[in-house]
Structure 1
Amino acid sequence: MTTEQTDTGSRVDPGTLTGEREALEQWLDFHRATLATKCEGLDDAQLRTPSAPPSDLNLMGLVRHMAEVERGWFRRVLAGESEAGWIYTTKEDHDADVHVTSEDTWAEAYATWQAEIAHARANAAGRGLDEPGSGTHRSGKTFNLRWIYLHMIEEYARHNGHADLIRERIDGATGD
């Protein structure tokens, strides 16, 4: 495995000879670190810079969105923490996570995201991949940990593609 040092930690390439659970966890952590890397070195104003009109998608909003996603899947669906409400989303604005204002800060968004990742890891620890979650999704369905890991990898991968384009627009930075 190779490690790429970043200001926000280390991004470790997933192993190539791992078991299923280790591979899923490594790929999820890789994608989490990739999003952090895309935000590195930018100030709050840059992190709030929208991608391109008419979209208002921005890097800080993506991090806030992923905090919501981590919370939803690992706390509400997996652990059955029904009291874990939305962080940013409201009934009036379902996309409030990406609708950042000049008062929103990277420090708060990053800390919230990292706290949700810590909850996710704790809630997944000790559970089998086939074990159904203790809660249900808003669709009413129950999901096992394997499905949640796979979905989270897909969710991060998709949004990391958005982050690539947004970062390139801000300062021309490209790459993994």
Structure 2
Amino acid sequence: MSEERRYERPWAADERSTLVGFLEFQRDTLALKCAGLTDEQLRRKEIPPSDLSLLGLVRHLAEVERGWFRNVIAGDGVRLRWGTGSPRASGFDVEGADVDEAFAVWREECASSRAIAAAAESLDVTGVHHTGRVFSLRYVLTHMIEEYARHNGHADLLRERIDGSTGE
């Protein structure tokens, strides 16, 4: 798997650029883990008893982007695309899922998240979660890095089981 298409993380930058850079790197990592696979391979659940698939991870991370950036930071109140509950459990069911739609929605949500983060005057901008808790943009960016890193570990295992590809 080639690493040359991933975002170059800043080595010496301000806090915002560093957080955004690490998040972009994680987004690119997910895309690379999915690159070159067939629809059937993206749907495969390769690590029983888990129901995780690469396609499910893409759909789930689209929901998480949507929930944290659009709903919490921007206050848009948009509904989930593929679930009725929390983004935490949404998107993983890939039965009948359209691969092209999933990737298009994920890219759209990433673009929306980028725009929301860029428009915020500082990392101290806050928004209200559906639980009533208040979160800063700093927290959301850090949490998203954590979310992607955890799921990219899953993606790494899934991809290796699918075709033997490994790499960061």
Please indicate, yes or no, whether the TM-score normalized by the shorter chain is above 0.5.
Answer: yes
**RMSD between aligned residues:** 1.5
CA deviation profile, 1:115-163 (whole Å, cap 9, x unmatched): 0011111111231101112xx2122101110000000000000000000
2:147 is matched with which residue: 140, 152, 155?
155
1:35 corresponds, among 30, 50, 64, to 30
Tell me the TM-score normalised to structure 2 length.
0.92
How do 1:43-122 residues align onto structure 2 when only pairs under 5 Å count?
43-82=38-77, 84-91=78-85, 95-101=89-95, 103-122=96-115
Runs of 5+ consecutive residues of structure 1 not aligned to the other structure: none
Structure 2 counterpart of 1:88, one-letter code: W
Q: Is the 8 A contact 2:27 2:148 kept in 1?
A: yes
Letter of the 1:59 partner, please give it.
L
Structure with more of its chain in helix, by fraction = 2
**Which residue is equivalent to 1:173?**
165
| Residues 59 and 91 in structure 2, CA contact (< 8 A), matched pair in contact too | yes
Q: CA deviation at 1:106?
A: 1.9
**Superposition misfits of 4+ residues, deviation over 3 angstroms:** none
Structure 2 Cα separation of the partners of residues 111 and 164 of structure 1: 22
2:107 paired with 1:123: no
Q: CA deviation at 1:96?
A: 4.8
Say if 2:43 and 2:55, in contact at 8 Å, map to a contact too: yes
Contact 2:73 2:125 in 1 (8 A): no
Corresponding residue for 1:11? 6
CA contact (8 A) 1:4 1:12 kept: no
CA distance in 2, matches of 1:158, 1:145: 20
Tell me by how many angstroms 1:51 deviates: 2.8
Alignment-mate amino acid for residue 131 of structure 1: V
Q: Secondary structure at the residue paired with 1:12?
A: coil
Q: Secondary structure at the match of 1:64?
A: helix
Distance in 1 (alpha carbons) for counterparts of 2:90 and 2:6: 29
Count of paired positions? 164
- Residue 32 of structure 2 aligns to a residue whose secondary structure is helix
